[in-house]
Amino acid sequence: MSSVVPVTESIPCPNYVDGQWVTSRSGQSLERRNPADDRDLIGRVPLSSREEVDEAIEAASRAFPAWRDTPAPARGKIVLRAARLLEEQAEEFARLLTREEGKTLGESRGEIQRSVNILEFTAGEGRRLTGETMPSELRHNLAYTLRQPLGVVGLITPWNFPVAVPVWKIAPALVCGNTLIWKPSELTPFTSRRLVELFVAAGVPAGVLNMVHGQGPEAGDELVRHPAVRGISFTGSSEVGSAIYALAAVQMKKVQCEMGGKNPVVVADDADLDLAAASTVSGAFGSTGQRCTATSRVVVVDSVADRLVEKLRERTEKLKVGNGAEPGIDVGPSVDESQFNKVQEYVEIGKHEAGSLVCGGKALRGTTDGAYNHGYFTAPTLFDHVQPGARIAQEEIFGPVLSLVRAKDFYDAIDIANDIPYGLTASIFTGDASRAFEAAELLECGMVHVNSPTVGGEAHVPFGGIKATGVGERETGSTAIDFYSELKVVYVDYTGRKRDSKLY
């Protein structure tokens, strides 16, 4: 691994309120450095005050009537222009994303392309905000439905997909006619700034899209509490999401929370083990395991477990760890020191639980290889013989750590896979079509993959989970507009006279 020359450019990071870039007045900020090379100072992110959040909410409230009255196809055209601009700027976005978040350049390019796809699909919803007509019990009476925006909506997004997740919230919210206050993660503020610049260049009017940087306990909390905000869409941890859900419920706000995952791969005794191993390794260690759909557990029927473990070990040990901006890198760093320390803590927990360490299990930062000394790198780690109730098999780690649990048979494997608080995604590997369809019905999750990794999704397909993973309507695809709009029923009596209550 070659040494990386630090980038010395420092990027400014203002808020965006009512069509203006505004420097925060709080006087508080955090340093943000490249997680692969902490000599590279990207800039400082402000920690905005509640008053600054309120100013953004007021701007969104003022802008709402005009944006609501803008025809939906015209709103969709602006989102489509954003797609074209992102496509043109894809490489620049990808390189900034890698510098700020740490994922490999290939993964960043993939995220940008997915974001383009989401924008393209969602732009078309401007021409598909349809209702339906229904027969009335009364003669000469028309009943129909239409969609209307919520009003001012708050968006709170995470650092692990700092373009795709905001895009799949911002795009449907705009198309449906809402005005927005977006609080991005304080770990990815510079990618967030570029995304706002893109929407502004696409033609989003002043006050319609506002961005305020800050931390959850102040900026996020104010966004959830403010009475003018009628909906909150959140992606992040289950602990924070459940708190937001409870707080918003007091004001009867509409809430959408996409939270944690502990996603299993179930490997039956008739599975293609080479395919299962390749898919599991990519699902577990891609994006450094820092994705809600990452593979965290392998639940394998015991009769084929030893063979699968060996194939997993061989593939895992071949992964190249390093700065994602360099060619040939498979696994990047944790996003920051806090996340790195969390991963190390879980690795130690795994070593002391009943499982056995197959490979990895060590921090690369501070090793004799100086190339790793400036980044938050962990060797991709595999544990075998993990008990289903062990902490590393139950708790979300969000890092390159994979636990293998052995099951007696196919149905025992399904039961183990389901014995978890979360329910986002799962995979089943089998050569038996009957088992595949049965697993698709029995697995307790929002998305099931057959003979493919737990990760991945498409722009026109709904995304989301159940149990402790998800609250509210699904995101992306044809269901994306459901959260950002209210359904209104209209009755039109065209008799022109008072109707006798007994007359049909």
Q: Tell me the per-residue pLDDT of 153-179, one tens digit each, with 9 for 90 and over.
A: 999 999 999 999 999 999 999 999 999
Question: Counting Cβ atoms within 10 Å, is residue 178 exposed (0-12), middle (13-18) or buried (19+)?
Answer: buried
In eight-state DSSP terms, residue 266 is E
Listing DSSP states for 56-124 in one string gives HHHHHHHHHHHHHHS-HHHHHHHHHHHHHHHHHTHHHHHHHHHHHH---HHHHHHHHHHHHHHHHHHHG
Domains of the chain, start order = 43-259+469-488 (3.40.605.10), 263-450 (3.40.309.10)
- pLDDT tens by residue, 8-49: 556 789 999 999 999 999 999 999 999 999 999 999 999 999
Q: Are 414 and 441 a contacting pair, CB within 8 Å?
A: no
Predicted structure pTM score: 0.95
Taking the CA atoms of 446, 450, 454 and 457 in sequence, report the sign of the dihedral they define: negative
pLDDT over 60 at 209, yes or no: yes
pLDDT band at 371 (very low <50, low <70, confident <90, very high): confident
Q: How does residue 363 score in pLDDT terms, banded at 50, 70 and 90?
A: very high
**Confidence band of 497 (pLDDT split at 50, 70, 90):** confident
What percentage of the chain exceeds 90 in pLDDT? 92
Does the pLDDT at position 7 exceed 80? no
* CA separation for the pair 168, 165 (Å, rounded): 5
pLDDT of residue 2: 42
Reading across the β-sheet that carries 20-22, which strands appear in turn?
A: 20-22, 15-17, 209-211, 179-183, 152-156, 229-235, 254-258, 470-471
Q: Which residues, including other chains, have CB under 8 Å from residue 101's CB and lie 6 or more apart?
A: 35, 108, 159, 160, 162, 187, 188, 191, 335
Single out the catalytic residue among 13, 257, 292, 359. Answer: 292
Q: What is the pLDDT of residue 355?
A: 75
**What is the percentage of the chain residues whose pLDDT exceeds 70?**
96
- Among the listed residues 258, 353, 396, 475, the single catalytic one is 258
Region of 41 please: left (phi>0), alpha (psi -120 to 50) or beta.
Answer: beta
H helix intervals, 286-409: 305-317, 337-352, 391-394
Instruction: Answer yes or no: 292 catalytic.
Output: yes
Instruction: Give the separation between CA 476 and CA 447, rounded to whole angstroms.
Output: 13
Residue 96, pLDDT > 80, answer yes
